[in-house]
Chains A and B, each alone.
Chain A
């Protein structure tokens, strides 16, 4: 079965550089979520999109932005990178369940970002 695809899988950047992470959701999933997980930390929600519109916003720094495109893939843009941005970044997707209540999200393998 198709899974969530994230690219790149690994990324090394220097401080103050920019990075772009990409996420391709499972086909027919119209909601995309981004999470950040620092070393030894629990996943933290950053932002989500439903039908190309931002649907929820968490602890996403102002230096970060994201969008969802017409083909439903999403990109997380990170600027002025700091050492503390080093983390695993997960993208997840879920289908719209009209009148439903599922909290089932499908996570990708993650992008490991290292800022030096």
Chain B
């Protein structure tokens, strides 16, 4: 299982773009990168998943460089409600449908 490393915390202001980078130097060929968001006392919520280059949905963008040793979750124009813990997970595509292994996430604090 590829180990991931994220910043412990980040601060931002409303309206700014926030980029959270996750390092996964030992990522394997079959691994996908997934990001989850968790608000206090709530279950984690799937944000986005990708394999390479760029993936975008209505919530965020995920940038993955060619070597795939890192990935960046980009949240455009954050609001106070984006204050949460963000988790980067790396998992083998052949084991999709199995456990999510959460590491230490990034606590994002957005202020006005």
- Residues of A whose CB lies within 8 Å of any CB of B are 4, 31, 33, 35, 42-45, 48, 50, 55-56, 58, 88, 90, 92, 94, 96-97, 100-110, 112
Contact = CB atoms under 8 A, between A and B. Distances in A.
Contacts of A92: 43, 100
Nearest to B30: A101
B49 A103 contact: yes
B98 A101 contact: no
Contacts of B94: 101
Given A42-B104, A97-B96, A97-B97, A102 B49 contact: yes
14 contacts: A33-B100, A42-B104, A45-B100, A48-B99, A92-B100, A96-B97, A100-B96, A101-B94, A102-B49, A103-B91, A105-B46, A105-B100, A107-B42, A109-B43
Contacts of B93: 101
B42 A109 contact: yes
Interface of B: 32, 34, 38, 41-46, 49, 87, 89, 91, 93-94, 96-105
Nearest to A96: B97
B49 A43 contact: no
Given A50-B97, A103-B91, A103-B96, A44 B43 contact: no
A108 B97 contact: no
- State the main secondary structure of chain B at its contact with A: loop
Contacts of A112: 41
Most B C-beta atoms less than 10 A away, residue of A101, A103, A105, A112: A103
Given A103-B89, A103-B91, A94 B41 contact: no
A90 B43 contact: yes
A110 B41 contact: yes
Most A C-beta atoms less than 10 A away, residue of B41, B44, B87: B44
Contact of B97 (A31, A58, A107): A31
A84 B37 CA distance: 25
A96 to B, nearest CB: 7
